[in-house]
Structure 1
Amino acid sequence: MKLLLDENLSWRMIKQLKPFFTEVVHASELKISQPATDISIWSYAKKHGFTIISKDDDFEKIVLLRKAPPKLIYLKTFNLSTKGLLDLIIENKEKLFEFIKTDENDIFELYFN
């Protein structure tokens, strides 16, 4: 499973997520015009088979309008720390794998309780 981290997430998350996902990249690493726009990130993810993970509600709007792929993991976590985000993602990795594998939904919302 390939994840593309949006620019609003720390690039430092890559190292901790790599043991769980096939490939993890950050939007700042992409070979596209930087700073990357949401549409350019979405287009890159679509072309290269990534699932986007973001806290930005603009991606929700894009996926609703244009449909998947790419799919979106939407982090509705407000000001949760990077460590808290990592813990939440890793705790829910099995649910995320299932979401990515199936064609049922285009958006998976992940909340912090």
Structure 2
Amino acid sequence: MSVRLISDENISWRLKKLLPDWDILPANEIDIENRVSDIFIWRFAKANQYHILTFDEDFSELQNLYSFPPKIIWLRTGNCSTAEIANCLKKELFTIGAFLQNDELGLLEIHF
């Protein structure tokens, strides 16, 4: 299963190194000279068939306005390391895969 995610700017770019089989694009690599806005990330994800991995409630609000795609995986956690995020995503791979294949769901909250 191919998982294509844009990770928002609050998630370390190192995540893609910890999940080499996943297609993870850190938001700061979309435009390396500028901080990209949430709406820019949203539009880029939609245009390029990515989904969004975020800690940020703002993407949920964008989805309420514009529907989906892109789908959102919302990490609902306190402070944790990038390794802990990677381990959680690996554990939730089946759930994430089912979510991404379900045409009726647009938001997956992951608590850990």
**Structure 2 length as normaliser, TM-score?**
0.92
Q: Deviations over 1:42-91 (max 9, x none)?
A: 00000000010000111111112111000000000121221111111111
Is 1:6 aligned to residue 3 of structure 2? no
Q: Which segment drifts farther, 45-54 or 100-109?
A: 100-109
Distance 2:93 2:10 in 1: 20
Alignment match, 2:74: 74
Q: Where in structure 2 are the equivalents of 1:1-113 lying within 5 Å?
A: 1-19=3-21, 21=22, 23-31=23-31, 34-112=34-112
Letter in 2 for 1:6: D
Paired residues, number: 110
Q: Which segment drifts farther, 30-39 or 88-97?
A: 30-39
Identity percentage of aligned residues = 34
Q: Which segment drifts farther, 42-51 or 94-103?
A: 94-103
Unaligned runs of 5+ in 1: none
Letter in 2 for 1:76: R
**Structure 1 length as normaliser, TM-score?**
0.91
CA RMSD of aligned residues (A): 1.3
Distance 2:72 2:48 in 1: 14
Distance 2:55 2:96 in 1: 15
Distance 1:65 1:78 in 2: 26
Distance 1:91 1:6 in 2: 21
Which 4+ runs in 1 deviate beyond 6 A? none
Kindly indicate whether the alpha-carbon contact (under 8 Å) linking 1:32 and 1:40 is maintained by their aligned counterparts in 2.
Answer: no
